[in-house]
Structure 1
Amino acid sequence: MRKLGISVFPQHVSLEESMNYIETAAKYGFSRIFTCLISANDKEEFAKLEKICQRANELGFEVIADVDPTVFESLNITYQELDRFKEIGLSGLRLDLGFSGSEEAAMSFDDNDLMIELNISNGTKYVDNILSYQANVSNIIGCHNFYPRRYTALSREHFLKTSKQFKDMNLRTAAFVSSNSGEYGPWFVVDGGLPTLEEHRGQDIVVQAKDLWNTGLIDDVIVGNMFASEEELKALGELNRNELTLRVEFLPGATDVEKELVLTQKHFNRGDVSAYVIRSTMTRVHFKQFDFPAHDTAQIELGDVTVDNNGYERYKGEMQVALQTMENSGNTNIVARIIPEERYLLEQIRPWQHFRLIEK
């Protein structure tokens, strides 16, 4: 099952604020937390983190902490003795700076059953090396980086390539989206959020999450910065995690039958795809008994949702979503429009892909 997560950076805020954020996220179905494990030498902050992990565990969260070699040293831990991490309340360790490969493989068999999370974004053969040491793959997962500084996050091409590397090995994957209200990250630079993909920076958080899941390469979506607003958490919690849904606004002239056709059908894009439209052709079968008088037959623009009217006898009742500007013969009714911020997702819909339309 795909999961939703938040990030918690307790060093920047009070314990009460962190606790409230975790409890709010739990209310909306979140079940992962990303955090950074600070040095045990800062006893006050370390104690705060332990309390947060304990409460998160009670609420059903798995907590995965980014660790580096200095943390191992401050806790007087070696890769062969991970009990202390489990005592803190961690479910896994993210090794941004790893070992040689054999150590990570050994850690995956630790009796504490901790997940060992690897950095997907680097695009190296690091994961191949670890698996070559016959690691316990059930405890090996991957997660992309987030990027505080504007213009430094991943390109789509690199993101898809590196994500596929992990999915081809049947490893669980995660990536970050960014809240447009979050002010905190692990450092003081939060220049336009903490996304994994640069093209997501500043976009609606729901669109970011839909895009990640729609690639088919990401299992878990984590909000990189805190605090996401309750409105954002609620919207993410209500998302269909397995099927792309797009929000539409109906034109005043849309009929009740056309609205039913748009909203109730399980649409899919035909396999013989067009460069101009996404075709949901089964609607003309399911609604063949209805008349579709002509209305709103102006020029068709990107994101328009159309239904062919009685003028197209063979195609009457076929729903399409426009991918670009087209001339309208007068035989096609414009009944709705994909909301502007989600038109970005139309170019990612693949042949035979299922999708649904919902009213904004």
Structure 2
Amino acid sequence: MTMRQIGLSIYPDHSNEKQDELYLLLGEKYGFTRIFMSMLEAKDVAATEKKFKRIIEFGNKHGFSTTLDISPHIFESLEISYNDLSFFKKLGAAAVRLDQGFNGITEADLSYNPEGLIIELNMSNDTGYLDNILSYQANKPFLYGCHNFYPQVGTGLEDGFFERCSKRFKTRNIHTAAFVSSQNGTQGPWNVNDGLPTRESDRYLPVEVQAKSMFMSGLIDDVIIGNAYASEEELKKLGELNRYKLSFSIDTVPVINEVERKILLNENHYRRGDSNALVARSTESRVKYREIPNTPHDNDCEFESGDILIGNDGFGVYKNELQVVLKPHKDSRKNKVGSIKEEELPLLKYLYPWTKFKFTN
């Protein structure tokens, strides 16, 4: 199984080297292992080599692998042959990302480069681009995919388009990556920076919520913060995120009792396989806590999507069963014990039958 990673972005043509180093040290502290670095602005070989090599080598010493974002004109401006990627290897890079494509056979040939560099392909196109490359017998283990990011507000990918593009790579077992946007970062490759997400719907969300959605979609292996510099709090939250298990940040009601708090926060939850449209049911707690009383409270309102309910003493054998509301309804036999935070409600679409999940507050 491909292990999921989190990454940072560095822009040596716009940044301060000391700040970059401090940023990478913070990233190392919180479990980041990838660096995305744009070379699209590079013009001078000597200056580029000196500047990029130092920060890449620093990253390598601290457990990072670096992907350099390049395009066909970079080969021309740096006078590099498509047949010789030794310049990028000399810099210490682990991969090069082709921001713009070639003709299929060129990408296939690049995947056999003797330097052993991974070739990352631009994923943000719903075309037969990948299949064309694979048809030329590309060296598949050395092909990765990575989406674009979009600095201009309103221009990020629509969710449905993002999913279609991603599935083209994921169904062919290609390692994938996409970008989320820091709400603190102001630095990117261009002089317009309204955030740097892949998906437009992510642009103004907390960075950990963006990442949860990416990982829980099952379509993205690596999540990279597109803009620099993310705050330490953002890095910490992303570092603490469970990349494999669905989790919801919640607010609890003031009168939640002891048994409800235990059920809510201490138990392992999964949605029953015989799913319905009204609620997602986690039923093991009703067995474990069947002898524990649960007095009715917060049970006379209409429950909304994202509310979390636990059966009270009036619910018979369903007492102490936990449910997540999917459709509004009323039922006085259930106590409202909390609600999923509004910005995380879109994550409910990943609560499939048998999905394991947890709550944090």
Q: Report deviation, 1:40.
A: 4.8
Select between 45-54 and 302-311 the one with higher mean Cα deviation.
45-54
Cα distance between partner residues in 1 of 2:308 and 2:344: 13
Superposition map of 1:123-202 within 5 A: 123-191=126-194, 193-202=195-204
Please point out which of 95, 99, 103 is paired with 1:100: 103
1:11 is paired with a residue whose SS is coil
Cα distance between partner residues in 1 of 2:188 and 2:181: 10
Superposition map of 1:1-360 within 5 A: 1-37=3-39, 38-41=41-44, 43-191=46-194, 193-299=195-301, 300-328=303-331, 330-358=332-360, 360=361
**TM-superposition CA deviations, 1:258-312 (whole Å, max 9, x none):** 1111112221122332222211122212222222221221312222211011111
Cα distance between partner residues in 2 of 1:86 and 1:331: 65
Decide whether the 8 Å contact of 1:148 with 1:189 is kept in 2. Answer: yes
| Long gaps (5+) in structure 2 | none
Decide whether the 8 Å contact of 2:250 with 2:339 is kept in 1. Answer: yes
Cα distance between partner residues in 1 of 2:89 and 2:74: 14
Cα distance between partner residues in 1 of 2:217 and 2:169: 13
Letter in 2 for 1:281: T
Decide whether the 8 Å contact of 1:323 with 1:347 is kept in 2. Answer: no
- Give the count of matched residue pairs: 357
Cα distance between partner residues in 2 of 1:332 and 1:133: 59
TM-score (norm 2): 0.95
Cα distance between partner residues in 2 of 1:219 and 1:228: 20
Cα distance between partner residues in 1 of 2:50 and 2:323: 57
Cα distance between partner residues in 2 of 1:309 and 1:124: 53
Cα distance between partner residues in 1 of 2:110 and 2:291: 63
**TM-superposition CA deviations, 1:151-207 (whole Å, max 9, x none):** 11111111111111101100000111000011011101112x111111111011111
TM-score (norm 1): 0.95
Letter in 1 for 2:280: I
Cα distance between partner residues in 2 of 1:161 and 1:284: 40
Q: Report deviation, 1:46.
A: 4.1
Cα distance between partner residues in 2 of 1:136 and 1:52: 29
RMSD: 1.4
Decide whether the 8 Å contact of 2:66 with 2:95 is kept in 1. Answer: yes
Percent pairwise identity: 44
